[in-house]
Amino acid sequence: MNLRMIGCTHQSTGLDVRQQLAFDPAQTIAALETWQSRFSKAEFVLLSTCNRVELYAAGNGHPTSPDSEQLIDTMLDFHQIPRQKVEGQLLTLADSEVVRHLYRVTASLESMVVGEPQILSQVKQAYQSAQDAGSAGPLLHGLFQSALHTAKRVSSETGLHKHRVSIPSVAIAELASGVFETFDDKHVLVLGAGEMADETLRYLSDAGKPHIHVVNRSLEHGQQLAEKWNGEYHRWDELWEQLAQADLAISTTAATEPLVTAASFAELVAPHRYQRPLFVLDLSVPRDFEPEVGKALGVYLYSLDDLDRACQRNRSARAAELPAAEIIVAQEAENFAVEVNRRATAPVISGLRAGLERPKKAELERLFNKLPDLDEQSRQEIQQFADRLMNKMLHPPLESLRDASQNGTHHGLLEAVRRLFRLED
C-alpha cells in the first residue's frame, strides 16, 4: 500500500508536546502545501485535535516518496522543534496498521472518551483541508472515504454511541433531555467558566440552540466563555435575576460553601418562577446548590453523585458494544486491502491483455490477407478461435494475479509479469 502515519496521541504523548505539535486550520493548509511541494509524488492528510496530531502519507513507490523518518523531520521542521524533545513519544505506523488505526480513530475507538462524536467531524475536516490544499490523492481519498464509511457502520450497527460516559454528555443527553423535549430557545444559566462548563455547553449546543447566560466572578473568563458560545455575560450580582429566568442552570464553580441555599432560593428565586420547571446540574465539589433546593416545586436537581452512577451504567453498556465495533473495523480494513490490491493488479492485467491483443490482430490480418476468398462465416470462426485461444492462455496467469491480490502476495508476481512481457515499456 505504501501508507505511513506518524504522530502523537493522548495515549503516548504528554499534553505539552501535543500542544507544541498542534496545527491550527491556517497552519494545516500551509503545512500541506509545503510538504506537497517538497514531495510532489506523495499524498498527505493532517489530523490535528486536542488529543492527537497525526500525519497520514501515501506514496506510489517513487524513490522520492518520504519514509517515516523523513515525515517526522518534516513535521518537526514546520514547528522548529528539535527531535530530542519528542524522542520516544511519536507513533509510527505502516500500511495495514495505518488503515486499522485510522478506522479506529474515526469510529471513536481510540478517543479519550470512547464513542464521543466529535472526532468524526474532525476527521472530515482534516480530509476536507487536504482536498482544499490539493494534497490528497487517489490512495488517501479511498482510505479516508472508507474510514468515514466504517465509522457510519459502527454508529448504525452498534449501540456504542448511544451510551455516553462523560459527565457533561450524560447530563445533557440523558437527564436534561428527559425534562425538555428541545433545548431551542431555552434560557441556560452557567455559574463558573471553567473546563467543565465549557464541555457541558459543547454538548448542549450540539443538542439544540439555547440562549446562553454566563455568571462568573472573573469578568475576563466569563466574557470569554460567553463569547465562545454566542452567549451573554452577567455580573455576579445578577445571579438571582438570571436564576429566576433560567430553564436550565449549570453550576461549576470552586466555591467552598453552597451558593444557593434552600432559604435563598425560596426567598429570591421561587416567587418569580411561578413553578416553571428548572433543571439544575450541580457539577461542583463541594455542592453549589443545597440538596433541599431540589425539593422546591418544579426543580430537578442533579449532583455529581447522581451523574456518576449514570456514567457507570453507560460504561458497562458501552463495553458490551466494543467487540461488534472491532469486528466491523476488521471487516472494512480487509475490504480496503483487497480493493487496493485489486487496483494494483488491474493495470498489469489490462497491459497483459493489450500486449497479446495487438499481435493477435496483426496475425489475423496477415492470415486474412493471404486468404482473400474466405467467406464471412469462416472469417468469424477463425476470429473466435483466436479469441478463445488467447483467453485460455491468459486464464492461468490472470487467476494467479487475482488470487495473489486477494492475500496481498502479488507484488513479486506483478514485477515478474511486467518483466516477462515487458509491460513497463
User: Out of 15, 40, 50, 236, which one is annotated catalytic?
Assistant: 50
- Residues whose CB is less than 8 angstroms from the CB of residue 305 and which lie 6 or more positions away in sequence, other chains included: none
What is the identity of the amino acid at 9? Answer: T
278-282 vs 248-251, strand pairing mode: parallel
Catalytic residue check, 50? yes
User: What count of other Cβ atoms lies within 10 Å of the Cβ of residue 257?
Assistant: 9
Three-state secondary structure readout of the chain: CCEEEEEEECCCCCHHHHHHHCCCHHHHHHHHHHHHHHCCCCEEEEEECCCEEEEEEECCCCCCCCCHHHHHHHHHHHHCCCHHHCCCCCEEEECHHHHHHHHHHHCCCCCCCCCCCHHHHHHHHHHHHHHHHCCCCHHHHHHHHHHHHHHHHHHHHCCHHHCCCCHHHHHHHHHHHHCCCCCCCCEEEEECCCHHHHHHHHHHHHHCCCEEEEECCCHHHHHHHHHHCCCEEECHHHHHHHHHHCCEEEECCCCCCCCECHHHHHHHCHHHCCCCCEEEEECCCCCCECHHHHHCCCEEEEEHHHHHHHHHHHHHHHHHHHHHHHHHHHHHHHHHHHHHHHHHHHHHHHHHHHHHHHHHHHHHHHHHHHCCCCCHHHHHHHHHHHHHHHHHHHHHHHHHHHHHHHHCCCHHHHHHHHHHCCCCC
Asked whether the beta carbons of 83 and 76 are under 8 A apart, the reply is yes
What is the rounded distance in angstroms from the CA atom of residue 144 to the CA atom of residue 47?
11
Q: Annotated catalytic sites, by residue?
A: 50
